[in-house]
């Protein structure tokens, strides 16, 4: 089976509710698609995500009722649980800084280029300022400071803990889309499921308290009746605005 072009994969992808129980999928190909998922653009290259590739039928059977018995979970051959790890911001910032130190070996400040100073200050100072919080108190303090500064100049305003949570989930969703398009290119099918008891799913797969589930993606090969009707989209003219 030849891989599809990007346009072909986008058009082929549908949210499949019923998978063919006679057709298996290769876990190595699913893993390859997850490897392509992590190439997705993400905020500040923080990569605040993890992917749990569920191939065990026993675990799928435990998760299915936690997805309220959806057919897309019940008939899935494999699952991918996309998680957000905002709690790992310090570790991810350090990883970025270590990468920068390989590109720009440490040297005295006066010998550093403007680009090097900016990049290192970004992860040493700006990222901790934005992500660090204490029960939301620092977040609102930063928010009001930005409100005042924003009167005089354009300023970044999403500095509260709940704002950064949205940022992290947006990045994870971009990776999830990469994954689903990559699966479609391989001729595999998926369905992103938001309807689940995320607390219980976290317990089943052993996620720590600070992790959040972005979505659960079921995987398999579609049955004809697994695609519920023709694709419907609001007329493009209603959502497209050229300025």
User: DSSP letters along 114-142, please?
Assistant: HHHHHHHHIIIIIHHHHH--STTHHHHHH
* Class of 6-42+54-84+163-227 in CATH: alpha beta
Residue 1 confidence (pLDDT): 58
Is 190 within 8 Å of 166 (Cβ atoms)?
no
Mean pLDDT per segment of 10 residues, for the chain of length 243 residues? 87 97 97 98 98 98 97 98 97 97 87 91 93 84 87 88 94 98 98 96 96 98 95 96 97
Domains of the chain, by residue range, sit at: 6-42+54-84+163-227, 88-160
Kindly state the greatest CA–CA separation across the chain. Answer: 66
Residue 105 confidence (pLDDT): 86
């Amino acid at each position: 089976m030849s891989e599809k072009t990007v346009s072909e994969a986008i058009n082929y992808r549908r949210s499949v509710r019923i998978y063919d129980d006679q057709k298996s999928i290769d876990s190595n190909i699913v893993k390859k698609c997850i490897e392509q998922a992590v190439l997705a653009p993400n905020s500040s290259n923080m990569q605040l995500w993890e992917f749990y590739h569920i191939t065990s039928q026993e675990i799928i059977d435990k998760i299915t009722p936690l997805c309220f018995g959806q057919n897309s979970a019940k008939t899935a051959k494999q699952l991918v649980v996309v998680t957000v790890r905002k709690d790992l911001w310090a570790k991810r910032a350090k990883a970025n800084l270590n990468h920068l130190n390989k590109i720009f070996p440490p040297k005295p400040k006066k010998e550093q280029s403007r680009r090097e100073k900016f990049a290192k200050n970004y992860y040493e100072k700006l990222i901790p300022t934005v992500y660090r919080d204490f029960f939301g108190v620092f977040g609102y303090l930063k928010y009001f400071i930005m409100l005042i500064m924003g009167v005089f100049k354009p300023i970044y305003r999403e500095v509260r803990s709940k704002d950064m949570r949205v940022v992290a989930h947006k990045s994870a969703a971009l990776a999830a889309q990469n994954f689903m398009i990559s699966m479609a290119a391989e001729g595999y099918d998926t369905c992103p499921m938001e309807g689940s008891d995320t607390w219980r799913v976290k317990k089943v797969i052993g996620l720590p308290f600070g992790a959040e589930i972005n979505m659960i993606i079921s995987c398999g090969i579609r049955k004809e009746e697994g695609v519920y009707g023709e694709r419907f989209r609001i007329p493009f003219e209603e959502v497209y605005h050229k300025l």
